[in-house]
Amino acid sequence: MDLKIIFGILATCLTLTGYVPYFRDIFVHKTKPHLYTWLVWALTQGTAAFAMVRGGGKWGAISLFVGTVLVIVIFFLCFKYGTKNIKRSDTIALATALIAILVWWQLDNPVLAVLLVSFIDGLGYIPTYRKTYADPSTETVSFWICMIGTDIFALLANSAHNILTMSYLVTLGICNTVLVGIILFRKRRITMERTIL
């Protein structure tokens, strides 16, 4: 069996594995996804997956297509289970992302489009970063660790390595790593503060 296929299967399995505890934690009101973040991702991820296929990514895009369906499900769950901690900075990030989406839809250049989608997706993390910094218990760290692994395996699964196939996954990998760092740092800091008190 081709190694690219194996990496694509591993990326998809990690995607599915990561979402299991995330959904569980949503339904027990532990994880509180941010509506704005998941809206941006629902609008961008499928397009990024198609761009990867267009760039020759093939097997690396499978986990993104599966993830797109799950992202849309979580977006709808946000209405009932999502955070109510929405600030002006979140709205500014959402407005910027939506304006960028309007620009992106007008682009006829696939490279510029995928770079803009990567930027927009990065903007989508801002409300979740802020919310998680304020209360790290509102995110499931194992999910984000699985997503980092998914990004790595999807990159390895790509049949071609170019801007179309790599920029979105690299953006996700960096943003997911930052989010894991925020969760772990803030949980540790809060634990230390409680110990001192």
Taking a C-beta distance cutoff of 8 angstroms, is the pair 178, 125 a contact? yes
Query: Domain limits of the chain?
Result: 3-196
- Residues 14-28 have pLDDT tens digits of 999 999 999 999 999
Residues 127 and 19: their CA atoms lie apart, in Å, by 20
Residues 80 and 27: their CA atoms lie apart, in Å, by 10
The model's pTM: 0.90
Strands (E), 44-145: none
- Residues 39-94 have pLDDT tens digits of 999 988 988 888 888 888 888 889 999 999 999 999 999 999 999 889 999 999 88
